[in-house]
Structure 1
Amino acid sequence: MYFVIANATKYKALYWNKTGFFLCYKRLEKSKFKWPRKLNGRVLNLSPQQWQWLYAARQELSLPIMNKLKDWLDKSALSVNNQSLLGKAIHYTLGQWSNSR
């Protein structure tokens, strides 16, 4: 199930894989999604294989970025005041990190 918000700057995908739901969310800063609402009068659907390709590509592209973010959070946590807003945000994010994988 896929949702494109009316102004086409936000996209959500909800997928069930028999073990739980996977939610993907993307927001564009400077452009809009070009998403076909209907194809020849019908809703566009992806097969399970097409979904797996999309998911695998997302994982491959996002994993290096997430690893760099984690490295930055770990390093920053050592040098930022824990009571500052940034310090609180960093420690909160690190505390939630295992839930994001």
Structure 2
Amino acid sequence: GACWQADDAFFELLRDKEIANVMLADIGGKIVADGNVAEKVKTQKKIIRDFLAGENGREQVETWLPRWMKFPVESYTVRGGFRTADQWARVQPLFAAQ
């Protein structure tokens, strides 16, 4: 089983349409995300919930973690603003194999 699960608080804090669509691509695939790119955040979050719960004809995804919680941490956008990911991007070259 998963150690972490998306709860109501997680979805209440998810308000960015671009991030919701990239999350949907991570969970449901590019075709699903592209087909719902114009949908409201609320709709995209519902589809994400359906995948995580295996409801409404969606195949259940049990081990998903948001990119923010992975190691190394990743951002969902190129616009920055996620401090941990921005800092990792600056030091990552120091860890690259020569």
TM-score by length of 1: 0.25
* Higher share in helix: 2
Higher strand share: 1
**Highest Rg: 1 or 2?**
1
Q: TM-score, normalised by structure 2?
A: 0.26
